[in-house]
């Protein structure tokens, strides 16, 4: 049976339309993340808690109806007190107590703390502003933490009060006034101290000229410390983090800062430091965070910074740097955060860096001077968005050409129309 020529051409056109339709990828099914394996609950000792210590916990308003050592606080209700015990026999002993959001009627007596000695090695207070500090802390403590607590006392904590904790390895005091003639009063006999954090505490005086060599972490930010950075602090070869930001520290950054070969985080922001960035900083191999903003540092920005392979955070904003910024785009894209605004005499090479980066400084003229006055202070609008160019390209790609789904529907409808016409012609021809 031969088909008429018009009908044959219509059939061929319909077939070509069907095969020319773009294939639409099915919507991918959501990736199912593997269910994290929960670590098994640690085996608890069957031994009861020491009777004297049980009585001491009762005096601290800690529930003891159930064994406080085995108590697992509900995830829906944040715990107010957490107790940790050892697995000793015939009696278990309390090793750690953490108070959080304390009630106003809580009182910590020396008698109760004495009954928990010498097993109690860790004691912490978080958000207990109406609580008065214990008259005397146990000498057995290895860790003591107090944050936003003991605010009923105008003077907060005294240096001598903390200095008695000679066995501490970890000391954290934040948002509590600390009254002392100097930090050395607190640290003098803490020969085992490893982590030191006293921040937002109105701590005054100078940085001590000597430190215990065990220190790996120092945070003295947001205080009233003055004077210069002593070279003694650069002898701490195990130090991994040094935060002296928001003080009144003056002078230059010591050249020996590069001796801190274990350092990963260095923050000296919001002080009165002057001079240039010492070349020795390039000798710190694993430095990832460098914040020197808000000082009076001058000179040119060192080129060696771009050679620091581990660096991820760099803030040089609001200083007095001048000259041409010696960084290229590949280095800046490697950084997670880069801020350099607020340096009025600093400019960038517009043939190397794009104005789209919004660095907060002006481009350079042929003499290496700023073409126009840049913003005086660094603000959020001048932060470099490292994904800005990539995201704009993606948007262009996404909006280029018609939507595939709409195109597929249009082709499908046109194919349906061709099919109906074909069936009508076929019916007429057969009839």
Residue 169, pLDDT score: 97
Residue 77, pLDDT score: 59
Contact assessment for residue 284 and residue 261, using Cβ atoms and an 8 Å cutoff? yes
Rounded to two decimals, the pTM is: 0.75
Residue 29, pLDDT score: 39
Give the DSSP H/E element, type plus range, for residue 419. Answer: helix 404-430
Residue 81, pLDDT score: 86
Residue tagged 């015990």 (tokens)? 85
pLDDT along the chain (431 residues), means of 10: 49 47 41 36 64 89 74 60 87 92 86 90 94 89 96 84 95 95 92 96 93 95 96 94 98 96 98 97 96 97 95 97 95 95 93 88 89 57 44 46 63 74 72 61
Report residue 143: phi and psi, to 5°: -135, 130
| Cα separation, 80 vs 104, whole angstroms | 12
Residue 47, pLDDT score: 80
Residue 414, pLDDT score: 75
Residue 427, pLDDT score: 72
SS3 at position 102: coil
Residue 250, pLDDT score: 97
Residue 403, pLDDT score: 62
Give the CA-trace dihedral at 342, 363, 333, 257, to 10 degrees: -50
């Amino acid at each position: 049976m031969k088909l008429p020529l018009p009908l044959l051409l219509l059939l061929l056109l319909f077939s070509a339309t069907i095969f020319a339709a773009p294939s639409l990828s099915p919507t991918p099914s959501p990736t199912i993340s593997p269910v994290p394996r929960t670590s098994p609950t640690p085996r608890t000792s069957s031994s009861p808690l020491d009777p004297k210590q049980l009585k001491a916990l009762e005096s601290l308003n800690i529930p003891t109806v159930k064994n406080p050592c085995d108590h697992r606080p509900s995830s829906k209700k944040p715990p107010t007190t957490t107790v940790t015990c050892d697995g000793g026999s015939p009696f278990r002993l309390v090793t750690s107590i953490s108070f959080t959001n304390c009630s106003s009627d809580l009182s910590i007596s020396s008698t109760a703390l004495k009954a928990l000695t010498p097993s109690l090695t860790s004691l912490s207070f978080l958000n207990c502003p109406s609580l008065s500090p214990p008259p005397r802390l146990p000498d057995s403590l290895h860790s003591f933490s107090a944050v936003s607590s003991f605010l009923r006392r105008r003077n907060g904590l005294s240096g001598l009060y903390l200095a008695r904790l000679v066995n501490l390895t970890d000391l954290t005091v934040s948002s509590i006034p600390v009254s002392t003639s100097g930090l050395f009063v607190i640290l003098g006999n803490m020969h085992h101290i490893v982590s030191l954090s006293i921040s937002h505490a109105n701590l005054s005086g100078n940085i001590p000229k000597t430190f215990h060599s065990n220190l790996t972490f120092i945070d003295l930010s947001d205080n009233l410390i003055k004077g210069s950075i002593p070279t003694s602090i650069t002898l701490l070869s195990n130090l991994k983090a040094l935060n002296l930001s928001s003080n009144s520290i003056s002078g230059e950054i010591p050249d020996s800062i590069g001796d801190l070969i274990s350092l990963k985080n260095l923050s000296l922001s919001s002080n009165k430091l002057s001079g240039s960035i010492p070349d020795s900083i390039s000798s710190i191999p694993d430095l990832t965070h460098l914040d020197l903003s808000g000082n009076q540092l001058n000179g040119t920005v060192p080129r060696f910074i771009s050679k620091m392979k581990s660096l991820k955070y760099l803030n040089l904003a609001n200083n007095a740097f001048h000259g041409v910024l010696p960084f290229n785009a590949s280095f800046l894209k490697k950084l997670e955060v880069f801020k350099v605004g607020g340096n009025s005499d600093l400019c960038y090479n517009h043939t190397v860096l794009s104005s789209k980066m919004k660095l907060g400084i002006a481009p350079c003229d042929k003499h290496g001077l700023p073409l126009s006055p840049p913003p005086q202070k660094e603000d959020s609008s001048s932060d470099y968005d490292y994904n800005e160019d990539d995201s704009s390209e993606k948007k262009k790609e996404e909006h280029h050409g018609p939507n595939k789904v709409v195109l597929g529907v249009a082709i499908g409808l046109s194919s349906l129309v061709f099919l109906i016409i074909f069936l009508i012609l076929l019916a007429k021809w057969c009839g």
